[in-house]
Chain A
Amino acid sequence: MTGAELSFVVDGLVEEGADGTHLLGSRCNGCNTLYFPQMASCPNPACQTKVLRPETLPREGTLYSYTIQRYQPPALFRMRNWKPYVLGLVDMGEGVRVMGMLAGVEEDELEIGMSLQVVTEPLFDDPERGAVATYKFAPVGVG
């Protein structure tokens, strides 16, 4: 899935590369800290520079923790054929932990520490925008 034909829930969260979807964050020129999503400034109090540049995160990370969202969230959240889904917290390296939906993994396959990679998946259909996608995390080799 390239995701190129999809509109995204929010602009500026991901970048599609030759090898697939990458989360798009910021790195600080001063203290070298990596952030996701893109930040307005560097919140490191020891950093005097606070000049950020966009930077993509590695595609792969490891599952740090997770839950299953059993109740339908408020209306801002839209999903085709709503049903409970897995929300994960994924360690992307350099201390960056990112929350997101998981794809292509059954409940009984979930294991803290498992390898996951960022993918783009359609989330809902909008009359004007068509299929709208979000980023998700899937086991390596899925999606």
Chain B
Amino acid sequence: MRPVYALGAGAHPWGKWPDKPQVQLAVEAMGAALGDAGIGWPQVEGLVAASSRFEGGMGWGLHANEVVQTVAEQGIPCINVGGACAAGAIALQTAYSLIASGQYDVVAALGAERMPKGFIPRPPGSKDDRTDNDYLRWVAMGATNPAYWAIEARRRQHDHGTSAATLANASVLMRQNASGNRYARYRDPLTADDIAASPMVADPLHLLQICPVSDGAAAVILGSEDFVQKSGKAAVRVAGCAIGSGQFGDPARRIPTIASTVREGVSHTSEVVGAVRRAFEMAGIGPEDVDLLEMADNSAWHILAWPELFGFYEAGKGDWMLDNGHLAIGGKLAVNPSGGFLSFGEATTAQALLQVAEVLWQLRGQAEGHQVQNAKVGMTAVLGLGANGGSIILSR
């Protein structure tokens, strides 16, 4: 395996962009990433797309092909991967492998998404019977995604005494971080009172404690050590890069299932925890070495629970860490200095690539308005439907 480096990253700001087709968002993010890397399309030897479920792709998820046909027809391999909200991490893992294997020297990973309004609809093609979880959860009980997160949050309140005030602080922190990030969609600061005043969606989670959906695009360009040396470009090492799926017996309330058989000793959210552990192993480091964590905060609960699951500190300590400023920019572990999903809104397939872009810019000292001082090691963690997990570590 050869070392792999992040050469550059680009993003289209998150928001609602009714006048820009998804392929346009993708092309702009790729253009920004190429500019950031200081290279052009002719140097790109392969493109991996985290395929959108909602738009384009010629009905077959051929998003990478659409991009090159739009902007640079040059015969390169186009790989299109699925993985729902973790697809960006799977795309990056694929690009990583193409370089680590020695087959290519410069490969880009891309995700672009325009989200439908409101609740994400059930996908077509499944039967209306008990074999389809995504049918069951709607017809038998109307379980929305926030209800799954709320059930986790309520149980945390029972187990660890998490207060409504602490849950509110998670959203306050994300907005505070986002206020300086031009890529974030929601940048106005929030107070705990604002959060308490927002409608209750699924107790104990208010509207401002649940990630909305947005349109956005992000791209990351990876390169080999040979390329870095020959080109003389500054680059940041991809120290760990791992994806995984779930473990039998995982106690997480996994969307869209309506039940699970839980086994003692199995990690909660095992698809992500497994990827995080493998990324740590690859990098030869542990949680104590990480300066910032960009993680999927689909709700305020995630901010509290996920770092515990990854071994950053023991279960239940997240409340104290958050309430005492240790998860803020400048704290012991900066969690989502970007502002996270709560401030971006989720543009599903693009989200994991935005996380990697954020870490790259942080490690270069280029996270204007939300910089973690002297950040040397950054980690990402993301979860996708179908029990997909991904985690990437960059290190300088």
Contacts and interface: CB of A to CB of B under 8 A. Distances in A.
A89 B151 contact: yes
Interface stretch (B106-114, B152-160, B276-284): B152-160
Contacts of B135: 10, 76
A94 B261 CA distance: 8
Contacts of A73: 119, 138, 142-144
Nearest to A31: B248
Contacts of A37: 130, 136, 258-259
A131 interface: no
Nearest to B136: A10
A33 B153 CA distance: 28
A34 B141 CA distance: 22
Contact of B155 (A70, A99, A112, A135): A112
Given A37-B136, A95-B249, A71 B144 contact: yes
Residues of A contacting B: mostly? loop
Nearest to B153: A67
A87 B141 contact: yes
A14 to B, nearest CB: 10
A96 B136 CA distance: 17
Contact of B130 (A38, A44, A71, A77): A38
Contacts of A98: 258-259
B261 A68 contact: no
B75 interface: no
A21 interface: no
Given A76-B122, A112-B158, A67 B138 contact: no
A36 B130 CA distance: 11
A99 B253 contact: yes
A13 interface: yes
B263 A95 contact: yes
Interface in A62-88: 64-74, 76-79, 85, 87
Contacts of B119: 73-74
Given A12-B130, A71-B144, A77 B202 contact: no
Given A10-B135, A37-B136, A45-B248, A99 B143 contact: yes
Contacts of A71: 144, 201-202
A83 to B, nearest CB: 12
A134 B262 CA distance: 24
Given A37-B136, A87-B141, A10 B259 contact: no
A134 B251 CA distance: 24
Given A10-B130, A87-B147, 12 more contacts: A10-B128, A35-B259, A66-B154, A67-B147, A67-B150, A67-B154, A70-B202, A72-B142, A74-B138, A76-B122, A97-B259, A134-B140
Interface of B: 118-119, 121-122, 128-131, 135-144, 147, 150-155, 158, 199-205, 248-249, 251, 253, 258-263
Interface of A: 9-13, 25, 33-38, 40, 43-46, 64-74, 76-79, 85, 87, 89, 94-101, 112, 134-135
Q: Which 9 A-B pairs have the closest CB atoms?
A: A77-B142, A73-B142, A67-B150, A76-B138, A65-B155, A98-B259, A95-B262, A67-B202, A36-B259
